């Protein structure tokens, strides 16, 4: 009590302390970066190995298996997942959460790669090691389209002007360019004409190499003026004509020029991808940010740069921002901020109506923001950001801050009404409630402690929410005990006698207070009867609780709620081996259907890609941007109802009108929780690929029989037709030809080899405009498409004799997988299914799981259910444990507060009873039980117990009196 008498009588000291706290919060707020989610460090490292032209099966055998064995003895290893594809192997190394420093893990992986590097094919590119970062997906997509320009000019303009300017924006890590045609000088050899000159590809490559070089000769000193200069032999090509006029050899004194049997064209790289915007050819640019930087600020800076770039665009070009994640981030954060402010002002007016005067309400109006704003300083010192999670935590803390200050305020006013001096009333009023207020704040805080123990991606998000809420609600206690108690006697002069001190509100406030007083009198009567009929009240309460549990099957359980966003991704896959031209033809029909909808604003399409790691030309990624939700008639939720949902209608129309599609799936951006995969996934594991495929077919049939499931797929990827050349070892030994010699030359003939740059910086009149152009040597297109022509090329034997490839090779045809997926070195095959708008829990528990478990598995094949189901179960298991731990912590706090084992038990009964209102509210609003609502339930534990603490403590106080 003496402490509170001291603080109540030192208003300037208290004001200065909390002004400093508030100022620190404002400073922290000004320094915080803005993003959608907190920065999350996943314990996953990706290893990417590229070997152009190698089949998926060979990549698995020659690269993947060796690296998997090398990584298997890493410490704290949880799982190794590998994807062997044509030309590429990707291995994901996942460590146990919290047991391995990710930087140390990356160093250990590099060491393992170095140990086996000599056993890997010599033709592989240097392996790329990257730490997985959920925040590294592109934050923006720009698109450039034009009338009157070819795609080569468009790509060149983007690479030279737009990309370089965008990458100079602060904190932009990289700009990825897709689409268009990449300028390239193609040396296309005519096999028949080359054979007529009795030449081989070796002769051509040797001649190009021996000419295209600059060799320094050394320093020359001039004896006349004693000045020196450098001397070098300069032979590097600068013009296309120089390449055409290159002499390969001389026959009887007659030179054989390259142009005699090859075409040298200023052309483009053979496209393996295509991009468009709203059905028109375009160049797309994906902007990636640096890790841990402010997405909103970067996007704002990029938009400013785009404005400047538009001013300098050549006539006919159009540059648009097709996707901007900062819009969704700003909209989401603005929504939470609006909710917070609405809650704050609603609380203010409730206090105004209940107390009946502006002065006490003004005390609350000043007190509550201090604890909320001060939390920003804690976020700043904890290297957090302003994001949906942290703001959500602050929003749910507003109510606690109101409760604390209102309790102190009302008790002080009550003592003033008893005739006590204002300062004495403040000291006594706060002193009476300090202990229960401390206990109630502690219960609010401890319910969030279990959330800091959750592991995984969701655990990282919940930890941010918990820490922010703990600090905001902890600061609310000293604000109520010291700041509110100090300013109340100086603002509220006496117990209010009038309904309000503002005439305008007198009628409204008076009406409300009269109704509250009437409710209070009725409540006293009902409470008195309830006390006289304790048994009946308990039975009615238990019956209501049981009845509320019966609502759970109708509420449903899912991992995360589906939201109506303005953007969607569309993944489309054609049968393996589909050419780029055929894919474009099919995609054009899909684009026509999508663009016919008035709700679609932009549609960006990317087919395949030109990078070695890009998907093949039979795979398509589309990015849909809809008009704002408030002007759309239909939702953008894949609910299964085509009449009300845009996505469902589009999917059904595309599949019914566009033939040739193997797989089509709309994917909602999932920034809250990452990609959970399909709602239902059945993962099969085993090394017998034939049996694995047969069992997968059985599960496809099982899932197809379940109402509510659609788009059932198995992730088997049949490869393209493959031709193997079996070389005659005996003949090769006699001729002195090696396997490497044959394989290298074949690769050059078909895929192009010995790529180099045509350097033109020394000639201002160059048609290449002072930039390097790739030059590639390969067969002419018509020869590359003809296997007979390829085998009709000659290779030089050790004796100098020219041998046809077909004389030392035998043809074998095969068809292999294009993607091989493995988990912990065992091949896996996944069967997936999408769900309708029926609650996932009902669909799984009642319909699907029994049928899945009925399938008998042969020896050597294992099965586990995954996808959203697994993540949902894992998350709710963790949250259930968190709920139990929170309840235990609350009981311990209450037992210490009341020095009793019985009183806390009485209050603990209120915790499960809160579910009556929870389930009823979820049922009425059509909301599922998910991660978001689950967090709210845990937060309610403290709120529910708070009322019990204050009530019982005050009852005990009245008993003592």
What average pLDDT does this structure show over 582-600? 93
Rounded CA separation 761/774 (Å) = 14
Q: What is the mean pLDDT of residues 70-95?
A: 92
Length of the chain: 961
pLDDT at 658: 94
Rounded CA separation 667/681 (Å): 15
Q: In this predicted structure, what is the pLDDT of residue 685?
A: 93
Average pLDDT over residues 445-465: 79
324 vs 934: CA distance, rounded Å: 30
Beta bridge partners of 568: 624
What pLDDT does residue 510 have?
A: 67
**Where is mean pLDDT largest: 510-524, 570-584, 736-750?**
570-584
Instruction: Establish how many alpha carbons lie within 13 A of residue 389's alpha carbon, considering only the half-sphere containing its beta carbon.
Output: 27
Whether 653 is covered by a domain: the verdict is no
Residues 13 and 48 both lie in one domain: no
- 544 and 398 fall within a common domain: yes
DSSP category for residue 147:
S
**Strands across the sheet containing 567-573:** 280-281, 273-277, 600-608, 619-626, 567-573, 663-667
Lowest-confidence range among 480-494, 510-524, 832-846?
832-846
Residue 400 has pLDDT above 90, yes or no: no
pLDDT for the residue 754: 59
Question: Do 58 and 207 sit in the same domain of this protein?
Answer: no
Percent of the chain with pLDDT over 90: 20
pLDDT of residue 761: 46
> Residue 202, SS3?
helix
CB within 8 A of 886, min separation 6: which ones?
446, 447, 448, 449, 450, 938, 941
In a domain, 261, yes or no: yes
Closest CA to 388 of 336, 441, 463, 462: 336
**CATH number where 422 lies:** 1.20.1640.10
Residue 394 placed within a domain: yes
User: Could you tell me if 832 and 681 are in contact, meaning their C-beta atoms sit under 8 angstroms apart?
Assistant: yes
Query: What confidence score (pLDDT) does residue 670 get?
Result: 55
pLDDT computed for residue 843 by the predictor: 56
Which of 117, 132, 147 is the last residue in one of the domains?
Answer: 132
Query: What CATH number is attached to the domain comprising 57?
Result: 3.30.70.1430
Instruction: Say yes or no to pLDDT of 817 above 60.
Output: yes
**Distance from C-alpha of 307 to C-alpha of 799, rounded to nearest angstrom:** 65
* Burial bucket for residue 318 (CB in 10 Å: 0-12, 13-18, 19+): middle
Q: Are residues 107 and 86 in the same domain?
A: yes
pLDDT tens, residue by residue, 243-281: 899 999 887 788 999 999 999 988 888 888 899 999 999
DSSP 542: H
Q: Tell me the average pLDDT of the chain.
A: 82
What pLDDT does 505 receive? 54
Tokens coding 763: 């000639």
User: How sure is the predictor about 766, in pLDDT bands with cuts at 50, 70 and 90?
Assistant: very low
Inter-residue contact 450 to 881 (CB < 8 Å)? yes
| Within a domain: 574 | no
- pLDDT band for position 762 (cuts 50, 70, 90): very low
- Region 876-880: mean pLDDT is 72
Structural domains counted in the chain: 3
User: Using 50, 70 and 90 to split pLDDT, how confident is the model at 325?
Assistant: confident
Tell me: pLDDT of 835 over 70.
Answer: yes
Task: For the chain, give the percent of residues with pLDDT over 70.
Answer: 89
Taking residues 25-51, report their average pLDDT.
87
Q: What is the pLDDT of residue 508?
A: 64
pLDDT band at 812 (very low <50, low <70, confident <90, very high): confident
* 559 vs 576: CA distance, rounded Å: 33
User: What is the rounded CA–CA span in Å between residue 359 and residue 351?
Assistant: 10
Mean pLDDT of 539-555: 87
Cβ density class 846-859: b for 16+ within 10 Å, e for less:
ebbeeebeeeeeee
Residue range 465-480: mean pLDDT, rounded: 89
Look at strands 794-796 and 802-804 and give their pairing.
antiparallel
Distance CA 933, CA 930 (A): 5
Whether residue 375 is found in the same domain as residue 460: yes
> Among 303-307, 787-791, 869-873, which stretch is predicted with the lowest mean pLDDT?
869-873
Task: Looking at the structure, tell me whether residues 543 and 418 fall in a common domain.
Answer: yes
Instruction: Judge if 896 and 788 occupy the same domain.
Output: no
> In which band, very low, low, confident or very high, does the pLDDT at 72 lie, cut at 50, 70 and 90?
very high
- Asked whether residue 767 carries a pLDDT value surpassing 50, the answer given is no
Same domain, 381 and 470: yes
Q: Are 155 and 181 in contact (CB under 8 A)?
A: yes
The answer to whether residues 801 and 921 belong to one domain is no
Distance CA(476)–CA(863), nearest Å, equals: 51
Do both 462 and 387 map to the same domain?
A: yes
Q: Assess if residue 75 is contained within a domain.
A: yes
- Per DSSP, the three-state class of 251 is strand
**Residue closest to 558 by CA, chosen among 916, 937, 939, 837:** 837
| pLDDT above 70 for 705 | yes
Q: Do residues 208 and 257 share a domain?
A: yes
User: Is it the case that residue 839 has pLDDT exceeding 60?
Assistant: no
Rounded Cα–Cα distance for residues 72 and 67 (Å): 9
Q: Examine the pLDDT at 763 and tell me if it is beyond 60.
A: no
* Sign of the Cα pseudo-torsion (677, 683, 688, 691, in order): negative
Q: Which of residues 572 and 365 earns the better pLDDT score? A: 572
Q: Among 765, 790, 807, give the residue marking a domain's end.
A: 807
Average pLDDT on 611-630 reads 83
Range of lowest pLDDT (108-117, 402-411, 476-485, 855-864):
402-411
> Quick one: average pLDDT of 419-445?
86
Range with the largest mean pLDDT of 376-385, 634-643, 761-770, 873-882:
376-385
Residue of 812, 854, 957, 958 lying closest to 898 (CA atoms): 957
* pLDDT value for 308: 93
Question: In the structure encoding, which two tokens stand for residue 480, read together?
Answer: 């109520």
Is residue 706 a part of any domain in this protein? no
- Is residue 165 over pLDDT 90? yes
Using CA atoms, how far apart are residues 602 and 666, in angstroms rounded to an integer? 16
81-95, 235-249, 595-609, 703-717: which has the minimum mean pLDDT? 703-717
Question: Tell me, what's the pLDDT at 135?
Answer: 66
Cβ neighbours around 722 below 10 Å, total: 15
Range of the domain at 12: 2-31+356-497+533-558+874-960
In a domain, 233, yes or no: yes
Domain CATH code at residue 769 = 3.30.2090.10
Token output for 698: 């059985």
Q: Which of 807, 834, 864 is a domain's end point?
A: 807
Residue 798 Cα distances to 60, 424, 485, 734, 793, angstroms:
34, 109, 99, 9, 17
- Tell me if 309 sits within 8 A of 164, measured CB to CB: no
**Closest C-alpha to 415, from 400, 433, 436, 441:** 433
Higher pLDDT, residue 278 or 877: 278
605/930: higher pLDDT: 605
Answer whether residue 506 is part of any domain: no
Are residues 21 and 126 both part of a single domain? no
Return the pLDDT at 146.
Answer: 87
């Amino acid at each position: 009590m003496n402490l509170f008498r001291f603080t109540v009588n030192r208003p300037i000291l208290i004001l200065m302390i909390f002004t400093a706290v508030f100022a620190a919060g404002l400073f922290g707020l000004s320094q915080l970066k803005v993003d959608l989610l907190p920065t999350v460090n996943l314990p996953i490292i990706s290893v990417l190995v590229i070997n152009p032209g190698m089949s998926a099966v060979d990549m698995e055998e020659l690269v993947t298996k060796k690296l998997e064995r090398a990584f298997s003895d890493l410490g704290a290893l949880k799982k190794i997942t590998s994807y062997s594809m044509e030309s590429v192997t990707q291995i994901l190394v996942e460590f146990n959460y919290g047991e391995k420093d990710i930087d140390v893990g990356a160093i250990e992986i590099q060491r393992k790669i170095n140990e086996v590097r000599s056993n890997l094919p010599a033709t592989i590119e240097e392996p790329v090691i990257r730490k997985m970062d959920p925040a590294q997906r592109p934050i923006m997509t720009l698109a450039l389209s034009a009338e009157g320009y070819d795609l080569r000019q468009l790509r060149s303009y983007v690479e030279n002007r737009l990309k370089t300017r965008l990458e100079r924006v602060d904190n932009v890590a990289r700009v990825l360019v897709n689409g268009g045609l990449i300028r390239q000088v193609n040396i296309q050899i005519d096999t028949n004409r080359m054979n007529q000159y009795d030449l081989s590809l070796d002769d051509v490559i040797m001649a190009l190499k021996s000419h295209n070089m600059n060799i320094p000769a050394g320093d020359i000193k001039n004896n006349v003026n004693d000045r020196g200069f450098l001397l070098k032999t300069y032979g590097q090509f600068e013009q296309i004509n120089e390449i055409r006029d290159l002499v390969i050899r001389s026959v009887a004194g007659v030179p054989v020029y390259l142009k005699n049997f090859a075409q040298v064209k200023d052309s483009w790289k053979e496209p393996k991808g295509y991009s468009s915007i709203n059905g028109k050819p375009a160049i797309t640019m994906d902007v990636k940010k640096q890790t841990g930087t402010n997405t909103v600020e970067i996007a704002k800076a990029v938009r400013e740069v785009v404005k400047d770039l538009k001013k300098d665009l050549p006539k006919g070009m159009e540059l648009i921002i097709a996707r901007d994640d900062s819009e969704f981030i700003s909209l989401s954060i603005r929504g939470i901020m609006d909710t917070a402010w609405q809650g704050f002002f609603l609380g203010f007016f409730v206090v105004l109506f209940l107390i009946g005067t502006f002065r006490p309400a003004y005390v609350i109006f000043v007190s509550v923001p201090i604890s909320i704003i001060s939390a920003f300083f804690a976020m700043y010192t904890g290297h957090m950001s302003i994001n949906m999670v942290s703001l959500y935590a602050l929003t749910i803390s507003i109510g606690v801050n109101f409760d604390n200050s209102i309790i102190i305020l009302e008790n002080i006013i009550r003592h003033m009404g008893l005739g006590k001096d204002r300062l004495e009333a403040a000291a006594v009023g706060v002193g009476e409630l300090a202990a229960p207020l401390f206990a109630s704040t502690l219960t609010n805080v401890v319910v969030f402690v279990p959330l800091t123990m959750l592991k995984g991606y969701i655990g990282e998000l919940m930890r941010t929410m918990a820490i922010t809420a703990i600090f905001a609600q902890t600061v609310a206690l000293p604000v109520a005990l010291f700041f509110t108690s100090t300013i109340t006697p100086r603002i509220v002069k006496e117990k209010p006698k009038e309904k309000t001190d503002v005439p305008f509100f007198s009628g409204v406030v008076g009406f409300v207070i009269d109704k509250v007083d009437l409710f209070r009198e009725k409540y006293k009567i009902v409470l008195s009867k309830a006390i006289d009929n304790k048994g009946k009240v308990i039975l009615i309460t238990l019956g209501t609780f049981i009845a509320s549990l019966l609502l759970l099957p109708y509420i449903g359980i899912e991992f995360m709620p589906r939201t109506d966003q303005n953007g969607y991704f569309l993944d489309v896959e054609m049968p393996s081996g589909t050419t780029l031209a055929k894919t474009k033809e099919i995609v054009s029909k899909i684009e026509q259907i999508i663009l016919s909808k008035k709700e679609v604003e932009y549609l960006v399409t990317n087919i395949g890609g030109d990078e070695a790691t890009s998907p093949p030309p039979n795979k398509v990624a589309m990015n849909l941007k809809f008009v704002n939700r408030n002007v759309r008639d239909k939702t953008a939720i894949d609910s299964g109802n085509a009449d009300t949902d845009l996505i469902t209608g589009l999917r059904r129309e595309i599949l019914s009108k566009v033939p040739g599609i193997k797989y089509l799936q709309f994917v909602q951006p999932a920034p809250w929780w990452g990609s959970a995969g399909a709602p239902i996934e059945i993962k099969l594991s085993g090394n017998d690929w034939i049996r694995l495929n047969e069992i997968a077919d059985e599960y496809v049939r099982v899932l197809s029989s379940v109402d509510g499931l659609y788009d059932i797929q198995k992730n088997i990827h049949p490869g393209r037709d493959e031709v193997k050349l079996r070389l005659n070892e005996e003949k090769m030994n006699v001729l002195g030809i090696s396997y490497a010699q044959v394989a290298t030359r074949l690769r050059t003939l078909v895929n192009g080899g010995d790529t180099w740059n045509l350097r033109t910086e020394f000639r201002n009149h160059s048609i290449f405009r002072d930039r390097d152009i790739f030059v590639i040597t390969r067969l002419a297109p018509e020869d590359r498409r003809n296997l007979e022509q390829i085998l009709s090329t000659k290779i030089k034997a050790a004796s100098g004799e020219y041998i046809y490839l077909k004389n030392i090779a035998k043809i074998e045809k095969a068809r292999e997988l294009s993607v091989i997926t493995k988990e912990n070195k065992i091949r896996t095959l996944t069967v997936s299914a999408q769900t309708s708008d029926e609650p996932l829990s009902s669909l799984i528990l009642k319909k699907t799981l029994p049928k899945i478990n009925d399938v008998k598995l042969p020896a050597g094949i294992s099965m586990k259910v995954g996808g959203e189901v697994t993540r949902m179960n894992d998350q709710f298991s963790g949250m259930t444990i968190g709920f139990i731990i929170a309840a235990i912590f609350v009981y311990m706090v209450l037992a210490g507060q009341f020095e009793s084992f019985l009183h806390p038990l009485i209050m603990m009964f209120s915790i499960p009873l809160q579910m009556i209102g929870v389930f009823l509210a979820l049922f009425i609003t059509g909301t599922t039980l998910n991660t978001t609502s689950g967090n709210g339930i845990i937060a309610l534990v403290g709120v529910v117990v708070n009322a019990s603490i204050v009530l019982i403590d005050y009852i005990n106080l009245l008993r003592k009196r």
